Amino acid sequence: MTDQTVYLALGANLGNRREQIEQGIAALSEQGVCITNRSSWFETEPVQVENQPWFLNLVVRGETTLDPHELLSTCQRIEKNLGRVPSVRFGPRHLDIDILLYGEQCIESELLTIPHPRMAQRRFVLVPLLEIAPELTDPKHNQRYADMLSRLDEGKKVLRSLINES
């Protein structure tokens, strides 16, 4: 299989958030995803389940020969190895890795939907994604993500983190 460009969102709101995300990125690199770019760090308000700590988030771009389902398995294994346990949906977590895009592919299977089904409604995904890929277009709807972001209500806060300076 040839290399595919992938975009992944990583977030955490428990423990040492930055360290866990960095470990997740390192594990992705060790397991077949060559990271080629990454966004700044963003502090974001929790969504759905509001009584929990704020999240630290970023988006990475990578190249991989893993097929989409292998990539999903890899992401889930890394999450588990770094302390994620099944809990409340949208609840607190040590590490979350979401596959946003896999090349230009549109996938709808029992286990995986690409593009990520809720990314167009999530400022905490679109803001860092557009920082590293401002012209990116949704392959399913043929709309620019920048246009999708401009149509979103302000909603939850997405703040560029001061840890970008360190």
Q: Which residues are annotated as catalytic? A: 84, 93, 96, 98
- For every residue of 48-92, DSSP letters joined together read S--SSPPEEEEEEEEEE-S-HHHHHHHHHHHHHHTT----STT--
DSSP state of 126: H
Q: Indicate the SS3 state at residue 4.
A: strand
Contact between 123 and 158 (Cβ < 8 Å): yes
Rg of the chain's alpha carbons, rounded to an integer?
A: 15
What span, in angstroms and rounded, lies between the C-alpha atoms of 42 and 40? Answer: 6
